[in-house]
Structure 1
Amino acid sequence: MILKVKEKSNEVLITFSGDLGNNNMPIIRDYEYIDYSDYLIIESTYGDRLHGNKTEEIKKLYDIIINTVKRGGNVIIPAFSVGRAQEILYFLNYYIDVEKRKELSNVEIYLDSPLAREALEIYEKHKECYDEEAINLLSKDFDLLRFNNLYTISSAEESMALNDKNGIVIISSSGMCEAGRIKHHLKHNIWKDTTSIVFVGYQAEGTLGRKILDNAKKVRIFGEEMVVKAKIYNLAGLSGHADIEGLINWVKNIKNGISRKIFIVHGEEKASENFKKEIEKSMKTSVYIPELFEKVEL
């Protein structure tokens, strides 16, 4: 997002990166580079790490699902309703309809998030935003986001009915397990050693998702202490946030640079500090990490 601020005869450009995301992710076109800005406010979620190889991460997801279902367990995938949920469906569908993996086509996959369900319909209405790969697949009658063993859940009653099923995949929100139907699915599955919980997005410090990812032995869900016996997996390469390489690459590709200052936000202290150092290695632009609630005069 670029703001043009005019004061008398002066015009100042302020650019806000939002969640930059990763290039070469499916469905939607890659992000574009800006030409110039006076100020840049940029995220730093993964400012201190590199993601794994995306192809390998998708293969891991496939293997986790098949192995979990074979032992009679459920795969629980906390996913953000817009973006991540649709991308996970795309990856699974690719294995089912393009690579013809019969084992996966026999697994019931449930999308249990009213918002993700609505977002799915919006994705399907706006094919003008698709990337070249998605357009090519559409031309071959490939349905990017729908497949025979996908079930989209609407009502709370349908969601609760999943508690009685085994050997299924549940994609639900919120992505950090702080609210929504995912908490109910965790409550009914986290204590089982046959369950697999697969994180495909960033988990902020202090959230339920982060506690589970950090191998907590017990967590509290709806006021009840639950023992964590499920197997926990982190597929960070599927996250919607760019890694340090992607962040630096985006800043370096601003054609005419940032003339005044770069503000680093939306990251834990270590990630933000590392990102700042990496920018300063290759650019002369002033870089600043504001404190929470700090006011900065431009």
Structure 2
Amino acid sequence: MIMATLTFWGAAQQVTGSCHLLETSHGRLLLDCGMFQGEPATEQLNHRSFPFDPRAIDAVVLSHAHLDHSGLLPKLAAEGFSGPVYLTGPSYDLVELMLKDAAFLEMKDTVWENKRLERAGKPLVEPLYTLEDVERLLGQRQALDYEQPTEVLPGVTLRFRQAGHILGAAFVELTVNEGKHPRTLVFSGDLGNRFSPLMQDPQAPPHADMLLLESTYGDRDHRSLNDTLEEFRSILAAAHAKGGNVLIPSFAVGRAQDLIYWLGKFHREGALPQHNVFLDSPMAITATAIYLRHRKHFNHDDAEFDRAIAQGWRAWLPQLTYSETTEDSMALNRVDGGAIIIAGSGMCTGGRIRHHLKYNLWKKDTHVVIAGFQPNGTLGRKLVDGAKRVTILGSEIAVKAHIHTLGGFSAHAGQTQLLQWAKAFPGAKPALHLVHGEPEAMQTLQQRFAETDWQANIAAPGQTVKL
């Protein structure tokens, strides 16, 4: 009898590059096809050949739109994948935004790299993928509602369930009818923080025989939300008193919208002294509009916000200004102080935030608020770790700004939330495999599960397990 198997090809003992291959007697299905992010050596993994034949993949199930889960889909399509990509309705919109932006940046970086290589007399490089590859892939999307059972392979039924991470994020339930008894696989995707101001809480998990559980924060809990908000208020007050700018590197999808919510909340409490809040990211501006279109998926916990947001984001935060063009962004470099600038990227590895850091990081009155996970090797991680000097856009910059880390804004579940969610599985404990985490975080979470007599396997790249 042929048994269904699962092979871990990404986000195995690292956070990014989500990619897991389910094989049954009737076909092959990928759970996510994400981009590797972080140090240059890690990002180089994006250019290697897939460890499977893309032409042999029958379908992809996408947990959510973040690039570390979706970013290699155009490459997959360019190399022969022609099947459907199943995703939720909000993810349908967000993944188009994210992949087109990724292709634009890839082409731009390739042009600059080839100029350097040509001057050195070295062979030129090809982009990871092009906008044409993205367009091809986007034509393969199939949007599904949450809770809508859909046969994605013969004998394999998919349900998306609310993960509470970002708009459209889902954890994946796959029921595989192979052999004498059906088997159920649950893939957590990225589980959300229950204190998210906009997103619904993750749904309780169903019965399962196997669980793939993320472990990004498997070694710690986030700071309490109340403490985080109080520190945020104090940072804004201190920056206002000294006249310095507040720079917030932000992920365009999820974090930027949460920040707008909290700044609007502060405004209504009389605790927002700054008169200018700039959202300096075309991608985040478009994502914010997508969030508005899909606001029925918000948690609706704040009636005042619900009433205001029906009229748009500026009805909630009147100080908000969108910096859409390059000229708009460059003009912010002439703002000596008193502004809040939210700009991408969240890890400070690209985007407009690098320019603002270059112009502000050496000023002692500047405050930099790090509000998201920073992988090893990123500029954001160097700032968090206390670097005194950094190189940005070819210039060495002294770090004299105040660097703050606000862990309570994470869109990921912390350790306790991961444990609580996993322990809510009804019936017998499913076979447990930890994915999406750095080794230390995974080992700590593995130990916590062992304390409850639940043995967790730390997934290794290329490891195959039977369902």
- TM-score of the alignment, normalized to the shorter chain, above 0.5: yes
In the other structure, the counterpart of 2:300 is: 132
Is the CA contact 2:361–2:400 (under 8 Å) kept in the aligned structure 1?
A: yes
2:464 paired with 1:296? yes
In the other structure, the counterpart of 1:192 is: 363
DSSP 3-state at the match of 1:133: coil
In the other structure, the counterpart of 2:209 is: 38
Looking at structure 2, the residues matched to 107 and 67 of structure 1 have their Cα atoms a distance apart, in angstroms, of 15
- Equivalent position to 2:277, from 82, 104, 109: 109
Q: Aligned runs of 1:125-164 on 2, under 5 Å?
A: 125-135=293-303, 137-139=305-307, 145-146=313-314, 147-164=317-334
Q: Aligned runs of 1:49-198 on 2, under 5 Å?
A: 49-97=220-268, 99-101=269-271, 104=272, 106-135=274-303, 137-139=305-307, 145-146=313-314, 147-165=317-335, 166-198=337-369
Looking at structure 2, the residues matched to 142 and 248 of structure 1 have their Cα atoms a distance apart, in angstroms, of 36
Q: 1:39 to 1:94 in 2, by over 3 A?
A: same
Shift of 1:72: 1.7
In the other structure, the counterpart of 2:121 is: none
Looking at structure 1, the residues matched to 309 and 448 of structure 2 have their Cα atoms a distance apart, in angstroms, of 45
Q: 1:81 to 1:296 in 2, by over 3 A?
A: same
DSSP 3-state at the match of 1:282: coil
- Equivalent position to 1:248, from 419, 424, 427: 419
DSSP 3-state at the match of 1:25: coil
Q: 1:76 to 1:140 in 2, by over 3 A?
A: closer
Is the CA contact 1:41–1:265 (under 8 Å) kept in the aligned structure 2?
A: yes
Q: Match for 2:459: what amino acid?
A: P
Looking at structure 1, the residues matched to 375 and 412 of structure 2 have their Cα atoms a distance apart, in angstroms, of 12
Looking at structure 1, the residues matched to 306 and 383 of structure 2 have their Cα atoms a distance apart, in angstroms, of 38
In the other structure, the counterpart of 2:183 is: 12
Give the TM-score taking structure 1 as reference length: 0.91
Unmatched runs of 5 consecutive residues or more in structure 2: 1-171
Percent identity of equivalent pairs: 37
Q: Match for 2:201: what amino acid?
A: D
DSSP 3-state at the match of 1:13: strand
Looking at structure 2, the residues matched to 276 and 59 of structure 1 have their Cα atoms a distance apart, in angstroms, of 33
Looking at structure 2, the residues matched to 148 and 137 of structure 1 have their Cα atoms a distance apart, in angstroms, of 13
Looking at structure 2, the residues matched to 112 and 61 of structure 1 have their Cα atoms a distance apart, in angstroms, of 20
In the other structure, the counterpart of 1:287 is: 456
Looking at structure 2, the residues matched to 40 and 217 of structure 1 have their Cα atoms a distance apart, in angstroms, of 42
Looking at structure 1, the residues matched to 320 and 427 of structure 2 have their Cα atoms a distance apart, in angstroms, of 46
In the other structure, the counterpart of 1:276 is: 446
Aligned residues: 292
Q: 1:122 to 1:67 in 2, by over 3 A?
A: same
Is the CA contact 2:292–2:309 (under 8 Å) kept in the aligned structure 1?
A: no
Deviations 1:106-147 (A, max 9, x none): 421111111211111111112221213134542478868322
Q: Match for 2:277: what amino acid?
A: I
Looking at structure 1, the residues matched to 462 and 389 of structure 2 have their Cα atoms a distance apart, in angstroms, of 36
Deviations 1:158-194 (A, max 9, x none): 0111000021111111111111111111111111111
Structure 1 vs Structure 2 CA RMSD: 1.9
Give the TM-score taking structure 2 as reference length: 0.60
Q: 1:247 to 1:215 in 2, by over 3 A?
A: same
Looking at structure 2, the residues matched to 238 and 207 of structure 1 have their Cα atoms a distance apart, in angstroms, of 19
Shift of 1:207: 0.9
